[in-house]
Structure 1
Amino acid sequence: MARQLDEQMAGRFPVGLRLRILDVGTGQGTQALRLARAGHQVTGLEQDAKMLAVAREALAAEPEGIRGRVRLIEGDGRETGVHFLPGSFDVVLCHGVLMYVEEPDALLAGLARMLAPGGLLSLLVRNADALAMRPGLSGDWAATLVSFDTTAYTNRLGLDVRADRLATLTSTLAGIGAPLHAWYGVRVFTDTAADGATVPPDAASLLAAEERAGRTDPYRQVAALLHLCGVRG
């Protein structure tokens, strides 16, 4: 997914431009730090105090130049208007957040307002059109049959959350002035891998296969996650 994001950013902005990036639901700060190391100015917004503490600890271990490019704020992604002025960012990331929001439209509209004209909105969501894949591949046929007719699921943390459909998000993005520009599948072949699984010796081939499938129909349509990129008009 990082490669897909970098590709979209490189295609929209001049090489070497220091971008203003908002990472909503920054978690442990992995993406924020990666982008800061690439030279960008990153603001991480996270409502979980424990996760934010981990992110701050990781940031403290970085060189001074990188620390100066990252700002971490405790706050809810649905309240971006409280923290920032409209048009304050060139890129807004919202990765792994929508599944925890029952009605995401207001959140997405708020994120779009944070973008400057031509800005990039990057979303990573659970694919509701492929919820039957994981239980099906695991041989849990009862759960598979239920998954065809719902957008609700239980994630690996044991939390009851929701998934999003590509068609619905495409319509939503158009309605908030950041129409869909590109989309990818994420975890096409690897969704059933156990957390903490050992990296296989042919990891490079695995990543290449995932990358190819994530860009290719019909494979990307059954990916566990969808990476959507909208552009502010």
Structure 2
Amino acid sequence: MVARQLDEQIAGRFPVGQRLRVLDVGMGQGTQALRLARAGHQVTGLERDQKMIAVAREALAAEPEGIRARMRIVEGDGQDTGVHFLPGSFDVVLCHGVLMYVEEPDPLLAGLARMLAPGGLLSLLVRNADALALRPGLMGDWPTALAAFDSTVYRNRLGLDVRADRLADLTATLAGIGAPLHAWYGVRVFTDTAADGAEPPADVATLLDTEERAGRTDPYRAVAALLHLCGVRG
């Protein structure tokens, strides 16, 4: 879903065929970074976890030479982008699944906005604090659901206590750092309660189409497990 939404925003902001400079902060195993490199963009993946870096390097090594030349991997922390890169160095900055591990996200977000060239796109994927009660409620965990209404902290599937963000708060933050919110989507509206490792349904294409439709339609997107926010550098 996020890939479709990101492609939509890129297509709406940049000329067709333009080779974009992309920074993927907290790239993980490099899935999104590799996808964009295959699409012809110049991609830098920033990651601090050595296991993730090893997986990403192995995947990159299996790609054709042209794609390998378009992607580089930098070991580092998203909060230190100013150490690694000059301001305005990128057309697109991704920060997907990272903010939940950052206690104070505002300095990180301000640093990411500085990395963007004018008109550049900042793509964030965060846990939706306004819907934290939904998953435990649907699973019948009433004490957790009740506590979630007044909290922005939750326990993820790895057993870690992490944090979530509210749409209103991030909207204000993005405006304050010069990359105001341009569009937002919900992600995992209907599938958040699926078990890890569950087999996909036979008609997975219809499932994806349904999730995509819900992710851009009110009121469904407001109760999605994740929010995908796209800000644009002024």
TM norm structure 2: 0.99
1:217 CA drift (Å): 0.5
SS of 1:161 mapped into structure 2: strand
Name the residue aligned to 1:229: 230
**Structure 1 Cα separation of the partners of residues 59 and 158 of structure 2:** 23
Counterpart amino acid of 1:74? E
- Match for residue 113 of structure 1? 114
Q: Residue deviations 1:148-192, cap 9 Å, x none?
A: 000000111111100000000000000000000000000000000
The answer to whether the aligner puts 1:198 opposite 2:195 as a matched pair is: no
- CA distance in 1 between partners of 2:96 and 2:86 (Å): 21
| Residue matched to 2:22 | 21
Alpha-carbon distance between aligned partners in 1 of 2:86 and 2:119, rounded to the nearest angstrom? 16
The match for 2:216 is: 215
Name the CA distance, whole Å, in 2 between partners of 1:72 and 1:157. 25
**How many angstroms does 1:110 deviate by?**
0.1
Aligned amino acid, residue 23 of structure 1: D
1:209 is paired with a residue whose SS is: helix
Tell me the residue number matched to 1:145: 146
* Partner Cα distance (1:196, 1:115) in 2: 36
Partner of 1:38: 39
Quote the Cα distance in structure 2 between the aligned partners of 1:72 and 1:202. 36
Between the aligned partners of 1:196 and 1:16, the Cα distance in structure 2 is 37
Alignment of 1:148-159 (within 5 A): 148-159=149-160
Q: Identity over aligned residues, as a percent?
A: 85
Tell me the equivalent position of 1:161: 162
- Unmatched 5+ stretches in structure 1: none
Q: Which residue of 1 aligns with 2:73?
A: 72
- In structure 2, what is the Cα distance between the partners aligned to 1:15 and 1:156? 39
Matched, 1:170 2:132: no
The TM-score, its normalising length taken from structure 1, stands at 0.99
Give 1:196 shift: 1.3
Report the residue type matching 1:78 in the other structure: Q
Partner Cα distance (2:139, 2:203) in 1: 23
Relative to structure 2, which stretch is displaced further, 45-54 or 85-94?
45-54
Q: Compute the displacement of 1:49 (Å).
A: 1.1
CA drift at 1:209: 0.8
- Aligned-residue RMSD, C-alpha: 0.4
Instruction: Classify the secondary structure of the residue corresponding to 1:107.
Output: helix
Separation in 1 of the partners of 2:98 and 2:73?
17
- Residue 34 of structure 1: SS of its match in structure 2? helix
The unaligned stretches of length 5 or more in structure 2 are none
Equivalent residue letter for 1:7? E
